[in-house]
């Protein structure tokens, strides 16, 4: 009797749902750990104090050894340049943000929709997966000269590059999320008469949300990198272009002021998606 039972137990995937649910847990913890990296509002104080020590120390050291401005400006010189030259730098912040937001909005929407669609058809997913990986791993910056040739020096090639860089990143992560099909939860919704669309909206999307947010975060950071890189390749506006411009004139305070702005944009993206993750995917942590 006992041996029969054990044999049966081994063969039972305790119904269709459980196996899939366990696979989902695996995916899930990777997402959770990514999110938890940015966790720690409590650590914020420590981070601020460390920053003050580092930048204060830098200021003192540079002044003490009288390092010339064209080699390394002091933090205060950088801040001063940012304020006094803001009328010149400001518009370029706007240009970069326009490229980033437009390109990211296009790329992320397409990536999200494709991920949602493709994961419904395992065979299609298998066929398409290598190409998505190719898009994720190829630096889209490499395409920028070609895009400029085709679309000129305006916003278009940059927006396309940003979309190409962020879209696949969103897609690959969102697809991981959408693959977490917990059949027990789907059966639950079905048992109350849910339609396929309702199951998608009420079960699949919320379940995918933590991974989608991870994808959006990584995608937008990649988008920022690509926007700045594309601006360096050609054209006469945007923060990337200002970096080449100021370095060619050896205006180091202005150069570092642009880097400071870029860093702040990057951090804002991070914080925004951290907040979004807490709000929409907090149940996972």
Partner 1 sequence: MRESGQPKLVVANASKSYDTGSGVVHALADFSMDVQPGELACLLGPSGCGKSTLLWAMAGLHGLSSGEVRLDGRPVIEPNPQIAMVFQEANLLPWRNLIKNIELPFEIRHQKPDRARIDALLEEVGLAGFETKMPRELSGGMQQRASIVRALSVDPSLLLMDEPFGALDAFTRDEMNLLIQQIWLETKKTIVFITHNINEAVFLADRIFVMSARPGRLSRVFEIDLPRPRPLDAMTTPHFIELVAEIKGSIDHKSQTQAA
Ligand X SMILES: Nc1ncnc2c1ncn2[C@@H]1O[C@H](COP(=O)(O)OP(=O)(O)O)[C@@H](O)[C@H]1O
Q: Please identify which residue in the block is written with the tokens 């990296």.
A: 37
Please tell me the distance from the alpha carbon of residue 181 to that of residue 171, in angstroms, as a whole number.
Answer: 17
Residue 11 touching ligand X (CB under 6 A): yes
Within 168-197, the residues that bind partner 1 by CB under 8 A are 184-185, 187-194
Q: Which is nearer to partner 1, 234 or 278 (CB)?
A: 278
Please tell me the distance from the alpha carbon of residue 148 to that of residue 207, in angstroms, as a whole number.
Answer: 40
Q: Please identify which residue in the block is written with the tokens 């401005």.
A: 69
Please tell me the distance from the alpha carbon of residue 266 to that of residue 272, in angstroms, as a whole number.
Answer: 10
Structure-block tokens of residue 6: 């054990």
Task: Say which residues have a Cβ less than 8 Å from residue 186's Cβ, sequence separation at least 6.
Answer: 199, 203, 204
Q: Smallest Cα–Cα separation from 236: which of 164, 148, 163?
A: 148
Residue 22 touching ligand X (CB under 6 A): no
Q: Which is nearer to ligand X, 9 or 42 (CB)?
A: 9
Residues 107 and 164 sit within 8 Å (Cβ to Cβ)? yes
Residue 65 touching partner 1 (CB under 8 A): no
Residue 16 touching ligand X (CB under 6 A): yes
Q: Which is nearer to partner 1, 185 or 242 (CB)?
A: 185
Q: What is the DSSP letter of 152?
A: T
Within 10 angstroms of residue 216's Cβ, the number of other Cβ atoms is: 24
Residue 15 touching ligand X (CB under 6 A): yes
Largest Cα separation within the chain, whole Å, is 87
How many residues make contact with partner 1 (CB under 8 A)?
Answer: 28
Residue 42 touching partner 1 (CB under 8 A): no
Residue 29 touching partner 1 (CB under 8 A): no
Q: Which is nearer to partner 1, 25 or 49 (CB)?
A: 25
36 membership: H or E segment, kind and range: helix 15-37
Residue 14: CB minimum distance to ligand X, A = 7
Within 192-231, the residues that bind partner 1 by CB under 8 A are 192-194, 198, 202-203, 206-207, 209
Residue 164: exposed, middle, or buried by beta-carbon count in 10 A (0-12, 13-18, 19+)? buried
Which does residue 1 bind out of ligand X, partner 1, none, counting CB within 5 to 8 angstroms by kind?
partner 1
Residue from 1, 2, 4, 12 that binds ligand X (CB under 6 A)? 12
Instruction: Give the interface segment with partner 1, choosing from 1-9, 82-90, 108-116, 167-175 (CB under 8 A).
Output: 1-9
Vertex 108: Cα angle to 102 and 111 (nearest 5): 140
Residue 19: CB minimum distance to ligand X, A = 9
Q: Which is nearer to ligand X, 12 or 44 (CB)?
A: 12
Q: How many residues does the chain have?
A: 285
Residue 4 touching partner 1 (CB under 8 A): yes
Residue 197: CB minimum distance to ligand X, A = 24
Tell me which residues touch partner 1 (CB under 8 A): 1, 4-5, 8-9, 11-12, 14-15, 184-185, 187-194, 198, 202-203, 206-207, 209, 281, 283-284
């Amino acid at each position: 009797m006992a041996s029969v039972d054990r044999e049966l137990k081994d063969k039972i995937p305790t119904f269709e749902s459980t196996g899939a649910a366990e696979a989902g847990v695996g995916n899930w913890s990777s997402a959770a750990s990514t999110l938890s990296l940015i966790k720690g509002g409590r650590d914020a104080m420590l981070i601020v104090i460390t920053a003050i020590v580092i930048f204060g120390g830098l200021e003192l050291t540079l002044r003490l050894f009288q390092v010339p401005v064209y080699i390394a400006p002091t933090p205060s010189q950088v801040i001063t340049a940012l304020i006094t030259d803001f009328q010149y730098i400001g518009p370029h912040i706007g240009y970069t943000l326009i490229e980033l937001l437009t390109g990211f909005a296009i790329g992320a929407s397409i990536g999200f929709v494709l991920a949602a669609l493709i994961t419904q058809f395992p065979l299609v997913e298998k066929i398409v997966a290598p190409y998505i990986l190719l898009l994720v791993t190829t630096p889209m910056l490499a395409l920028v000269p070609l895009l400029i040739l085709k679309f000129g020096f305006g916003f278009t090639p940059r927006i396309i590059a940003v979309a190409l860089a962020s879209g696949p990143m969103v897609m690959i992560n969102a697809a991981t999320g959408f693959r977490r099909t917990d059949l027990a939860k789907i059966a639950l919704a079905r048992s109350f008469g849910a339609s396929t669309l309702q199951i998608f909206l009420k079960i699949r999307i919320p379940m995918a949300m933590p991974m989608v947010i991870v994808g959006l975060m990584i995608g937008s950071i990649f988008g920022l990198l690509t926007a700045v890189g594309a601006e360096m390749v050609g054209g006469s506006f945007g923060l990337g272009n200002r970096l080449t411009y100021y370095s060619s004139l050896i205006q180091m305070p202005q150069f570092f002021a642009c880097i400071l702005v870029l860093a702040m944009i990057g951090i804002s993206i991070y914080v925004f998606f951290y907040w979004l993750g807490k709000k929409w995917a907090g149940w996972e942590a």
